[in-house]
């Protein structure tokens, strides 16, 4: 009897990866996208995460915001920017980039997340701009969460950060 259980277990272990592969192919590639938050607004063209986006207009470009950071530090801003990379674990932050202007965007009170397939999209967000020193350990942690497989040691660096209360992400 114990030998029979071992044989059954062996065959189950062999069959499991094939069954999982079939399930993944039936679901499609989009199932690998992590969506831990529901949008607060959905239209045919965009989704809004966090609080409703009440501000209107195109918003500042990230390059303008960073270039004039002393004017905008610790202030509420409306920014239109491109998502360069998204945290692939949860969508709990992203890196916004416009030319050489870069900022890490997090979400107020860790209260919402964005879909992990949002990279490359141009978004509009409302939030507060800050600037701080990023320790080498924190920089390494962020690089790993972005899916940079070979995230080696990093040096301490100055970082611009936007703590967003709302973000509008185009569909598609």
- The DSSP call for residue 94 is E
At residue 110, does pLDDT exceed 50?
yes
Residues 6+ apart with CB under 8 A from 130: 73, 74, 160, 161, 162, 163
At residue 22, does pLDDT exceed 80?
no
Q: How confident is the model at residue 147 (pLDDT cuts 50, 70, 90)?
A: confident
61 CB neighbour count, 10 Å cutoff:
16
Report H helices in the chain: 2-27, 62-67, 69-72, 136-145
Average pLDDT over residues 131-157: 73
Q: What is the pLDDT of residue 5?
A: 32
pTM: 0.72
Cα dihedral 100/134/90/128 (nearest 10): -70
At residue 19, does pLDDT exceed 60?
no
């Amino acid at each position: 009897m114990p030998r029979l259980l071992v044989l059954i277990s062996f065959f189950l272990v062999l069959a499991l990866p094939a069954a999982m592969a079939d399930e993944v192919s039936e679901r499609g590639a989009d199932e690998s996208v992590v969506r831990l938050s529901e949008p607060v607004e959905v239209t045919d063209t965009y989704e809004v995460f966090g609080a409703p986006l009440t501000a209107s207009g195109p918003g500042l470009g990230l390059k303008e915001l960073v270039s004039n950071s002393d004017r905008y530090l610790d202030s509420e801003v409306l920014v239109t920017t491109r998502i360069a990379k998204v945290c692939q674990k949860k969508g709990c932050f992203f890196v916004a980039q416009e030319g050489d202007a870069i900022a890490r965007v997090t979400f107020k009170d860790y209260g919402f997340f964005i879909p992990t397939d949002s990279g490359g999209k141009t978004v509009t967000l409302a939030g507060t701009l800050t600037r701080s020193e990023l320790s080498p350990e924190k920089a390494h942690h962020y690089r790993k969460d972005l899916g940079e497989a070979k995230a080696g040691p990093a040096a301490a660096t100055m970082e611009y950060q936007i703590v967003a209360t709302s973000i509008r992400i185009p569909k598609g």
